[in-house]
Amino acid sequence: MFTFLGKSQRYCDGVSRRNFLKIGALGFSGLTLADLLRLEAQGGASAPKKAVINVFLSGGPSHLDMFDLKPAAPPEIRGEFHPIATSVPGIEICYLMPKLASMMNRLAIIRSLTGIVDEHSPDQTETGFSGNVLRSVGGRPSLGSVVAKLSSTTSGAVPTFMDLTGISRPGFLGPVYAAYRPDGPGRSNLQLRGEIKVERFGGRHQLLTELDRIRRDIDGSHMMDAMDSFNQQAVGVLTSSKLADALDLNKEDKQVRERYGLNDQNQRENERFLTARRLIEAGVRVVSLSWGGWDTHGDNFNQLRRQLPALDTGLSALVEDLSNRGMFEDVALVMWGEFGRTPRINGSGGRDHWSRASSALLAGGGLKMGQVIGSTNRYGEAPQDRPVHIHEIFATLYRVLGIDVKTTTLIDPNGRPQYLVEHPEVIPELV
């Protein structure tokens, strides 16, 4: 049995959330790995090269202190940080992110994100919807689960969707389309146990194949013929080193690891960025991960002073890697959080929840980079021009992946067709 446990995250509301998934012969409805692969393949489409890396800044990052600074505002609004110029004239971001500033021509910032709610949960950045939407039937599925549903498996050796930090959920699509989690016990299950060699495992598989052949001889429906391919994929996951190799960062060049900051104990969280790139390179189509903690009701500026330089190092290394390896046009990267933070600094030197406006950063995917889309008013309270609904970002990401949100629907457990988003327009400035 595969058991994947997510890292617990405690927010300001005092609730500790942990995602979990169990897959195996004793898991959901007796699903085996072959069952999982068989059901994934019902989408029928071949997997193209396009992929998405979805980065969640858990807790709600301050838009006013990262990508939408207001240096002309009063001190209680503008805070302690100042902006710096980027490689694109006229665009400025926080001075604590100089590496990202130097590659602004490969980034796009949305400063007028709207359509979000005050809710501590990754649901909005994973699905586009509040976690309360369709809760009675399991909730909305994450983008990766949708791709797993609509696509065949990428190969016999890697899954379609991987979640590095336990933030995604399959919603009403069910556990068959949940992400693979490669941490803890799950990682050990990617390889055969030491006492069982590949040859011995192959012998067992051959024996099962012989038994199936006997059954096939008396099977007039030819279902056994179809089963062979799914079982072969299941065996491929266990006998191939492709996924295990992608997860082994010790196989990465030392200089690359250093560029991600992995020689610094304070930047070890950047392993997730490097792992995401290696997984996409191995053939995974969607990788979700969280980074840091951004629920800064108190001591906002010192917390950001600790986090932003590390984020700057890891994210810029990922963008550079995607460019250097010829992946930039095929892999879309998005980084965002639940909501923004209050324009006015509170009595504890922090900023509270603010859902009226937020920012998001995008890169790659063949989209048009080197620009800022939208703006907020002089205090960063609300979109001033070109509001961008969160569903427009999802529509654009789905477009990168070759999915038309205007025509594609999923059937929920009540038999009702559900569109992937309610605002199906892509962001024209990006495409």
Residues 381-420: tens digit of each pLDDT: 999 999 999 999 999 999 999 999 999 999 999 999 999 9
Mean of the per-residue pLDDT values of the chain: 85
- Asked if 130 and 267 sit in the same domain, the reply is yes
Does residue 81 sit within a domain? yes
**Pairing status of strand 92-94 against strand 51-57:** unpaired
Most confident of 30-34, 200-204, 355-359: 355-359
Tokens, residue 262: 């992995």
Contacts of residues 205-212 at CB distance under 8 Å and 24 or more positions apart, as own/partner, are: 205/231, 205/235
Does residue 21 sit within a domain? no
- Asked if 249 and 289 sit in the same domain, the reply is yes
Residue 156 is predicted with a pLDDT of 58
- Asked if 280 and 377 sit in the same domain, the reply is yes
Phi and psi at 79, nearest 5°, equal 75, -155
Q: 76 near 344, Cβ under 8 Å?
A: yes
Does residue 30 sit within a domain? no
What is the tens place of the pLDDT at every residue in 123-160?
A: 999 999 999 999 999 999 999 999 999 985 455 578 99
Q: Averaged over 295-322, what is the pLDDT?
A: 98
pLDDT class of 206 with cuts at 50, 70, 90: low
Rounded Cα–Cα distance for residues 223 and 227 (Å): 6
Going from the C-alpha of 139 to that of each of 78, 132, 168, 208, the distances in angstroms are: 38, 7, 11, 38
Residue 21 reports pLDDT greater than 50: no
Strand partners, 52: 286, 332
- Asked if 108 and 222 sit in the same domain, the reply is no
- Asked if 119 and 206 sit in the same domain, the reply is no
Residues in the chain: 431
Rounded Cα–Cα distance for residues 23 and 25 (Å): 7
Residue 67 is predicted with a pLDDT of 98
Tokens, residue 366: 């063949």
Does residue 352 sit within a domain? yes
- Rg over alpha carbons for the chain, rounded to the nearest Å, is 22
Q: Say which range, 117-126, 190-199, 237-246, 380-389, has the weakest mean pLDDT.
A: 190-199
Does residue 288 sit within a domain? yes
Residue 373 is predicted with a pLDDT of 98
Q: Say which range, 39-43, 301-305, 356-360, 362-366, has the weakest mean pLDDT.
A: 39-43
- Asked if 230 and 299 sit in the same domain, the reply is no
Residue 216 is predicted with a pLDDT of 53
Does residue 31 sit within a domain? no
The string over 35-47, giving b where at least 16 C-beta atoms fall within 10 Å of a residue's C-beta and e elsewhere, is bbbbbbbebeeeb
pLDDT class of 235 with cuts at 50, 70, 90: low
CATH of the domain at 379: 3.40.720
Which has the closest alpha carbon to 257: 245, 244, 274?
274
> Domain total for the chain?
2
- Asked if 401 and 336 sit in the same domain, the reply is yes
Which has the closest alpha carbon to 396: 373, 417, 380?
373
Q: Averaged over 269-280, what is the pLDDT?
A: 97
Does residue 430 sit within a domain? no
- Asked if 55 and 143 sit in the same domain, the reply is yes
180 DSSP 8-state letter: B
Strand partners, 163: 288
- Asked if 210 and 263 sit in the same domain, the reply is no
Longest dimension (CA), the chain: 81
**Which domain range does residue 96 map to?**
50-191+241-419
Residue 190 is predicted with a pLDDT of 55
- Asked if 344 and 221 sit in the same domain, the reply is no
Please identify, among 209, 240, 271, the residue that sits at the C-terminal boundary of a domain: 240
Does residue 15 sit within a domain? no
Report which secondary-structure segment, H or E, holds 72.
Answer: none
Residue 214 is predicted with a pLDDT of 54
Rounded Cα–Cα distance for residues 139 and 412 (Å): 10
Tokens, residue 331: 């892999």
- Asked if 73 and 178 sit in the same domain, the reply is yes
Tokens, residue 144: 């990766």
- Asked if 220 and 177 sit in the same domain, the reply is no
What is the tens place of the pLDDT at every residue in 48-104?
A: 479 999 999 999 999 999 999 999 999 999 999 999 999 999 999 999 999 999 999
Rounded Cα–Cα distance for residues 388 and 110 (Å): 8
